[in-house]
Structure 1
Amino acid sequence: MKRVIVGLSGGVDSSVAAYLLKEQGYEVIGLFMKNWHDDSVTISDECPWLEDSNDAMLVADKLGIPFQTVDLSVQYKERIVDYMFNEYEKGRTPNPDVLCNREIKFDVFMDIALELGADYVATGHYCRKGTIEKDGKQIHQLLAGADDNKDQSYFLCQLSQQQLAKALFPIGELQKPEVREIAKAQDLITAEKKDSQGLCFIGKVRLPEFLQQQLKPKAGDIVEVADTFETYSQALPEFDSKENELEFLSKKTVYSLTDGKVVGRHQGAHYFTKGQRKGLGVGGTVEPLFVIDTDVKDNVIYTGQGKKHPGLYRNVLFVTNEELHWVREDLAINEGETMEVMARIRYRQTLEKATLHKVATGMYVEFENKQSAITEGQFVAWYIEDELLGSGVIS
């Protein structure tokens, strides 16, 4: 019997993952990760870890599998929370869910599981794993979940071949309603439980309050830039190479205070992110204001009216070599090469046609259509059909 350690989160997906593995004849052990101690910033009734850990324990009990809790809060603080503060301070917007999978679930947690003699680690993610033979060696594929509406492959876009080799995704072939049906049929306490929102394993957090623990409030101006701002309608210069064109198109517009009018005040540019609409507290505009850029150095937020504002859109982004990751290392392209892919820049976004262009310093991703709110610090992930090949941090 192969031993599998399941990350039991106290939700329905991981509960059903554990049940299915047991049915398949694996020796299953449930492990709950406690990653957070500070309840002052969580909206406590939304997702208290105590209730989750209790539900996980009741599920393990019902399934007749051993259960224990591991405290990873030190590693979580170092690898996720500190990184988040650091990124926000730089004016970038990190994705804690992607990091949590790379750094915690499939690294720290996986190490603990392997020490406990596990052959595999399983999670309740909606994605699938394929394995193919190539040049005499096994290659693992990260495939989209069968439920288009719940596909979570994007959150796993930073996994390596070594991590995938040890990973199992038991519910990847199922639709969410089927998962709930199985939980109900097995009388699992999590069958009707709402999906958790917010930061992985912390629960729903009031982000400004969470960030205020480290990043002090600092009043500054909110500037509204008109959609007629001349930079938006400038003709493109002539380029002597494709790379020069891509470099030009990937650069974000640099604004100054004189490019618009001051319409309000904010408590810190580092609390805001591109594309954000809520929390600006500015009324009286025909259409709602959206953040089109933040300047953390001068502490200014630039905004524009309506989600069609030209300041929100561009079609090329750049990933540096340091932040470029191929799940399928065997398919990585070399300098001067291109690849036609489907790509997304956020979870649940529909996949869009794009071309990858590898250059000496990194890689450009050129979308066929302009994308809204390409945000530094977030992840771009690219696919061919339903296989996720790689990803990178938008620079």
Structure 2
Amino acid sequence: MKRVIVGLSGGVDSSVAAYVLKEQGYEVIGLFMKNWHDDSVTISDECPWLDDSNDAMLVAEKLGIPFQTVDLSEQYKERIVDYMFKEYEKGRTPNPDVLCNREIKFDVFMKIAMDLGADYVATGHYCRKGIITKKGKDIYQLLAGKDTNKDQSYFLCQLSQEQLSKTLFPIGELTKPEVRHIASKIGLVTADKKDSQGLCFIGKVRLPEFLQQQLKPKEGVIVEIPESYSKYHQLSPQFDNKEDELAYLSRKIKYSVSDGKVVGKHQGAHYFTKGQRKGLAVGGTVEPLFVIDTDVDENVIYTGQGKSHPGLYKKVLFVTNDELHWIREDLKLNVSESMEVLARIRYRQPLEKATLYKVDSGMYVVFQNPQSAITEGQFVAWYLDDELVGSGVIS
């Protein structure tokens, strides 16, 4: 019997993952990760970690598996929370869920599991793992979950071959309704529990309040840029080569306050992110205002009216070499090679046709159609059919 340690989060997905493994004949141990202590910024009646850990314990009891809690809050603060503050300060928008998987669940947690003699770690993610053999060597694939509506492969886009080799995804072949059905059939307390929407393991966090602990409020202006702004209507220059053209198309437009009109005030540009509509508190416009850019140095938020404002759209993004990651290292591109892929820049976005172009300093991702709110600090992930092969941080 191989030993598997399941990250029991107190939700229905990981509960059923543990059940499925037990049915398959594995020796299963449930481990709950406690990653956060500070209740001052959580909306406390929305899934505080205490309820979750109790539910996880009840599930383990019901399934007859050993259970314990591990406190990873120190590592979580160092690797996730501190990183988030740094990114927001730089005016980027990090994705804590992707990081939490790379740094906590499949690193710190995995090491603890291996020290406990585990052969594998398992989670309740909706994705699947494949194995192919190439030149006599096993290569692990990260495949989309069978339930296209719930596929969570995007959140695992930073995993390595080493991490995948020791991971199982027991519910990847199931749909969410099937998972709920199994849970209620065997009488699990989590069967009807609603999915947590919180920051990975923190529970629901009021993000502005959370950020205000470190990033002090500072009044600045909100500027509206009109659709008629000249830089949106410039003709493209002539380029000597593809790389110059891609650099031009992926460039960030530099706005200044005089390019538009001041329509309101805000309490800190670093609390806002591109594409954001809520929280601006500016009325009186024909269409709602969307954030098209933030300038944290000058503390200015630039906005545009309506979700089709040209300031929101771009076809090309860039990833630097040090933030480029291939799950399938055997498919890595060399300089001046390209690859046709399907890509997404956020969870739940339908996959879009794109081409990767490798250059000396990193890689361009060129979408067939313009993408709304390409946001620095978020992850772009690329697929071949339903296999996620690589990802990177949008720079």
TM range (shorter): over 0.9
Report how far residue 63 of structure 1 moved.
0.1
Equivalent position of 1:343 in the other structure: 343
Moved over 2 A (4+): none
Q: How does 1:104-183 map to 2 (within 5 A)?
A: 104-183=104-183
Establish whether residue 15 from structure 1 lines up as the match of residue 10 from structure 2. no
Instruction: Report the Cα distance in structure 1 between the residues aligned to 2:346 and 2:259, rounded to whole angstroms.
Output: 29
SS at match of 2:61: helix
SS of the residue 1:342 aligns to: strand
Give 1:1-395 correspondences, 5 Å limit. Answer: 1-395=1-395
CA distance in 2, matches of 1:253, 1:370: 16
Residue 310 of structure 1 aligns with an amino acid whose one-letter code is P
Letter in 2 for 1:359: V
Q: CA deviation at 1:109?
A: 0.1
Q: 1:203 deviation in Å?
A: 1.1
Q: Which amino acid aligns with 1:229?
A: Y
| Cα distance in 1 between the residues matched to 2:186 and 2:125 | 20
| Superposed displacement of residue 2, structure 1 | 0.1
Measured in 1, the distance between the counterparts of 2:144 and 2:160 equals 16
CA drift of 1:46 comes to 1.0
Q: Provide, for residues 92-117 of structure 1, a one-character-per-residue CA deviation record: whole Å limited to 9, x for no partner.
A: 00000000000000000000000000
Query: What amino acid does structure 2 have at the position aligned with 1:221?
Result: V
Shift of 1:383: 0.2
AA matched with 1:232:
Y
Deviations 1:128-153 (A, max 9, x none): 00001000100000000000000000
* Secondary structure in structure 1 of the residue aligned to 2:358: strand
2:45 corresponds to which letter in structure 1?
D
Residue 256 of structure 1 deviates from its aligned partner by 0.3
Measured after TM superposition, the shift of residue 197 of structure 1 is 0.5
Partners of 1:200 and 1:387 lie apart in 2 by: 24
Q: Secondary structure at the match of 2:87?
A: helix
Structure 2: distance between partners of 1:340 and 1:162? 26
Amino acid at match of 1:107: D
Deviation at 1:70, TM superposition (A): 0.1
Percent sequence identity over aligned pairs: 82
Cα distance in 1 between the residues matched to 2:192 and 2:311: 42
User: 1:204, CA displacement in angstroms?
Assistant: 1.1
Q: Which runs of 5+ in 1 are unaligned?
A: none
Tell me, what secondary structure is at the counterpart of 2:355? strand
Mark the runs of 5 or more structure 2 residues left unpaired by the alignment. Answer: none
Cα offset for 1:249? 0.4
**1:268-322 C-alpha deviation (Å, 9 max, x unpaired):** 0000000000000100100000000000000000000000000000000000000
Q: Distance in 2 between matches of 1:349 and 1:192?
A: 26
CA shift for structure 1 position 195: 0.1
How far apart in 1 are the matches of 2:46 and 2:386?
A: 33
Secondary structure, in 3 states, of the residue corresponding to 2:365? Answer: strand
Aligned partner of residue 76 in structure 2, secondary structure: helix
CA distance in 2, matches of 1:303, 1:206: 23
When the two chains are superposed, the root-mean-square deviation of aligned CA atoms in Å is 0.3
SS at match of 2:47: coil
Structure 2: which amino acid aligns with 1:122?
Answer: A
C-alpha distance in structure 1 between counterparts of 2:368 and 2:391, whole Å: 18
How far apart, in 1, do the equivalents of 2:284 and 2:201 lie?
39
1:58-93 deviation digits (Å, cap 9, x = unpaired):
000000000000000000000000000000000000
Work out the CA distance in 2 between the residues paired with 1:278 and 1:206: 14
